[in-house]
Amino acid sequence: MSRIFNFSAGPSMLPVSVLEKAASEMLDYNNSGMSVMEMSHRSKVYDKIIKDTERKLREVMGIPDNYKVLFLQGGATLQFSMIPMNLMTKNRKADYIVSGSFSGKAYKEAQKYGEAHLAATSKADNFSHIPTQEELNLSPDADYLHICENNTIFGTTYNYLPETNGVPIVSDMSSCILSKPVDVEKYGVIYAGAQKNMGPAGLTVVIIREDLVGEPLDKTPVMMRFDEMVANDSMYNTPPTYAIYILGLVLDWVESMGGLTGMEAHNTKKAALLYDYLDQSKLFKTNVVKENRSLMNVTFMTGNEELDAKFVKESAERGFSNLKGHRSVGGMRASIYNAMPMEGVEALVAFMKEFEEKNA
Ligand code: PMP
């Protein structure tokens, strides 16, 4: 068996111990005589799995009792529609900060359902920074403010949480959930596609403050109603059973790493190694301003497209996969989510130094 360092933006690496545990339980989960994949979602055995997963997520993230946890499908992208259909219902107005590609998509989708107002955007500087509080033009009567907390494509992240004067914050945490401690109480809704820090694709986690689960817009499909999903404990229909089980295993691993405080220390160390190297390199650079550098997605380039392509090709030959930047940005991107070990980043930096010596 040979595993490589996989820098994919998602789906991405999972901890080896999680994969091993899942493999050991593949044919017979806990003396049930079947795989979790084969199990009825209404069975007693599965009921314990989903409840345990929710309990562990509540413990790890410190989710207060007045928040509901939902295990849904449709990806984070479905939340771009589901959020306005369920929450843009009082004043039919919401603020959006567009700090990258996904928040742009969320903003565009919300325009179908009410008055989506652009509170700020960093498009003019090609999303190399996150709009600051001073740059925000917030509406006091907005039903919520939507932000994308970590921009997977551009490699930027918030270093503050907007002050909204009571307007609930809805945060897309797809690429940063479980990467560091979070004060859930400061949010109205947190949502994330699972396929980066939580498990395999197919599961979307939504954490929503109880009082925000209201009456959705007319004709909202039943599968897109938060009230129905809450009333049925995410089991109006068949939930993504196996992905939920893997999330449970990932949460055990996060706990074994010291919880979210431990994760943050681990992630800060990895990211610092890469950024410190980039800051002194004569060949590579990053365009992201220092105060908004993502711990999870590190974007960099040489400034020469041919050299970038050469780097991507040679790195792949050496066992570093998925370092090509997103097609909309070019250059390179190393996604170093929770499961990427320190050795992966050390090996990458060593390879970059070698490449720099040969090509500078
Ligand atoms: N938001 C962010 C921040 C993302 O990184 C992604 C996917 N890379 C999405 C939303 C879309 O997620 P999904 O593919 O689960 O719909």
Query: pLDDT tens for residues 228-243?
Result: 999 999 999 999 999 9
pLDDT confidence of residue 360: 80
The CB of 152 under 6 Å from ligand 1? The reply is yes
Residue 274: band (very low, low, confident or very high) from pLDDT cuts 50, 70, 90? very high
Average pLDDT of the segment spanning 175-186: 98
Which of 77, 151, 190, 327 most suits a substitution to test ligand 1, by most atoms within 8 Å of the C-beta? 77
Q: How far apart are CA 209 and CA 203, in angstroms?
A: 20
pLDDT confidence of residue 328: 84
pLDDT confidence of residue 48: 98
Report, in angstroms and rounded to the nearest whole number, the Rg of the chain calculated over CA atoms.
21
Domains of the chain in start order, with CATH, are 16-256 (3.40.640.10), 259-359 (3.90.1150.10)
pLDDT confidence of residue 238: 98
Mean of the per-residue pLDDT values for the chain?
97
The CB of 10 under 6 Å from ligand 1? The reply is yes
Ligand 1 centre and the CA of 9: distance in Å? Answer: 10
The ligand 1 atom at the shortest distance from the C-alpha of residue 100 is 3
Average pLDDT of the segment spanning 138-163: 98
**Of 90, 75, 82, 77, which Cα lies nearest the Cα of 225?**
82
Ligand 1 centre and the CA of 354: distance in Å? Answer: 33
Residue 12: band (very low, low, confident or very high) from pLDDT cuts 50, 70, 90? very high
Residue minimizing CA distance to atom 2 of ligand 1: 174
The CB of 240 under 6 Å from ligand 1? The reply is no
Average pLDDT of the segment spanning 75-84: 98
- pLDDT by residue (tens digit) across 282-312? 999 999 999 999 999 999 999 999 999 999 9
Q: How far apart are CA 344 and CA 30, in angstroms?
A: 33
Phi, psi torsion values for 123, nearest 5 degrees: -60, -40
**pTM higher than 0.95:** yes
The CB of 109 under 6 Å from ligand 1? The reply is no
Ligand 1 centre and the CA of 197: distance in Å? Answer: 12
pLDDT confidence of residue 300: 98
**Of 240, 246, 297, which Cα lies nearest the Cα of 267?**
297
The CB of 76 under 6 Å from ligand 1? The reply is yes
Which of 80, 175, 204 most suits a substitution to test ligand 1, by most atoms within 8 Å of the C-beta? 175
What percent of the chain stands above pLDDT 90?
A: 98
Phi, psi torsion values for 292, nearest 5 degrees: -120, 20
Average pLDDT of the segment spanning 217-236: 98
ipTM tops 0.95: yes
The CB of 172 under 6 Å from ligand 1? The reply is yes
Q: CB under 8 Å, gap of 24 or more: what pairs does 194-198 form?
A: 194/243, 194/247, 195/10, 195/11, 195/12, 196/9, 196/10, 196/11, 196/12, 196/152, 196/296, 196/335, 196/337, 197/250, 197/296, 197/337, 197/338, 197/339, 198/247, 198/250
Average pLDDT of the segment spanning 186-196: 98
Average pLDDT of the segment spanning 166-175: 98
> Is residue 1's pLDDT more than 80?
no
